[in-house]
Structure 1
Amino acid sequence: MARSREFDTEAAVEAAMSAFRRKGYEGTSVQDLVDATGVGRGSLYGAFKSKDGLYLAAVDRYRELYAQPLIEILRGGAPARELIREILVDLVDEIVRDGSRQACLIVSAATERVPHDPQVARRIRSTTGSLEDALTDVIAEAQESGQLTGTRDARDLARFLVTTLQGLRVMGSINPDRRSLMSAVEVALSCLD
């Protein structure tokens, strides 16, 4: 008879997610994951099959915690310019507050795992694609209603804003200076004119 799992899987995934954010996939050893989760090696392997399995669960949890809420906010119907500004400013504030400079798991996965891991690549493309779609809808509706000018293609602007979001995360991990990051935000917002 198989033993039942004796640990909180969700808590273990979140602890592993933090470990991967601090050290990346390659830099995080199985022992690091054991230490972070407080779960024995055998139990982790029993639940997730491998380090890769736990990483995929961590990426999925990160998407649930960070990407999905952002997409829901975009679908909420607030005025486009104010909504996009609020999202960008909130991101800058989050970056500046994060004293540990944890990496965005989407950014680190894109650079570290996407080139050679099809499962991670699918998840990251799906996440950034959903964000781009939501931004495209917001921008297109705002252009149709006259809230934003229609001089630029809504899809192109959405791609640019996704790039800006990810770029802010990268630059914020290098130098979390609010003034510098906000200057980039203001330039990005000017592209909506």
Structure 2
Amino acid sequence: MGRTRTFNSDAVLGAAGNLFRQRGYRDVSIADLEKATGLVSGSIYNAFGDKAGLFKAALQHYVHWFVRQRLTAFAGPDATLDDLEKLFLSVLEEPLSDGYGCLVTNSIVEFGNAEGIASEGIAQTLGMVRDAIDGVLRRELGPKASDAATMHLIVLYHGILTLSRSRTSFDAMAQMVRTEFDRLKNLRIRATSPRIKPL
């Protein structure tokens, strides 16, 4: 009869995910994971199979408990452009402002478009981000204006998450976000203003 798990799964997956976020998949060893999670290697192998299994579980945990919750909070069904702007600015605040970026974005950089252990989490996140941004833009700007603007904001969002790992000024990136959302808010005003009929 197998032994039941006696560890807190959320705490273990959170700790492992944070370590992978900081150092990447390839540079993390089982010994590093033991230290970060408090589990011995046997428990890691029994619960997750191997390092790849733990990474996949930690990435799914991150997508569900961090990415999804942020998108719901800032870009849910009633969100406005002002709320969406806060999502972008929040990337430059704690906990993402620690210089290690986002586990999903880092995985895109590390693994590229090859099919593998990060593919599912990356695809889920890209889809959720696209749908959340597009939903806000369709409500605020109308369907005609939303397609190009959605892709523009997706690139901006993941670009900020990538550059947050560099020495790029957070203040400069925040100013760029504000400028872009000022432009979108002007489009919103024009989209909702009644048209003046020519005399």
Q: TM-score, normalised by structure 2?
A: 0.83
Deviation, 1:91, is: 1.8
Residues 1:70 and 2:62 are matched in the alignment: no
Is the Cα contact below 8 Å between 1:19 and 1:36 reproduced in 2? Answer: yes
Residues 1:125 and 2:123 are matched in the alignment: yes
Aligned length: 184
1:143 counterpart letter in structure 2: L
Q: Distance in 2 between matches of 1:30 and 1:45?
A: 10
Is the Cα contact below 8 Å between 1:96 and 1:176 reproduced in 2? Answer: no
- Specify the alignment match of 1:147 in structure 2: none
- Specify the alignment match of 1:88 in structure 2: 88
Deviation, 1:156, is: 2.2
1:34 counterpart letter in structure 2: E
- Output aligned runs, 1:108-123, within 5 Å: 108-123=106-121
The structure number with the bigger radius of gyration is: 2
1:186 counterpart letter in structure 2: R
Gaps of 5+ in 2: 188-199
Q: Which string of whole-angstrom CA distances, capped at 9 and with x for unpartnered residues, describes residues 24-58 of structure 1?
A: 00010111001111101011000000111100111
- Specify the alignment match of 1:16 in structure 2: 16
- Output aligned runs, 1:94-105, within 5 Å: 94=94, 97-98=97-98, 101-105=99-103
SS at match of 1:62: helix
Is the Cα contact below 8 Å between 2:106 and 2:162 reproduced in 1? Answer: no
Moved over 4 A (4+): none
Is the Cα contact below 8 Å between 1:139 and 1:158 reproduced in 2? Answer: yes
State percent identity of aligned pairs. 24
SS at match of 1:174: coil
Q: TM-score, normalised by structure 1?
A: 0.85
1:126 counterpart letter in structure 2: Q
1:25 counterpart letter in structure 2: Y
Gaps of 5+ in 1: 145-149
Is the Cα contact below 8 Å between 2:96 and 2:102 reproduced in 1? Answer: no
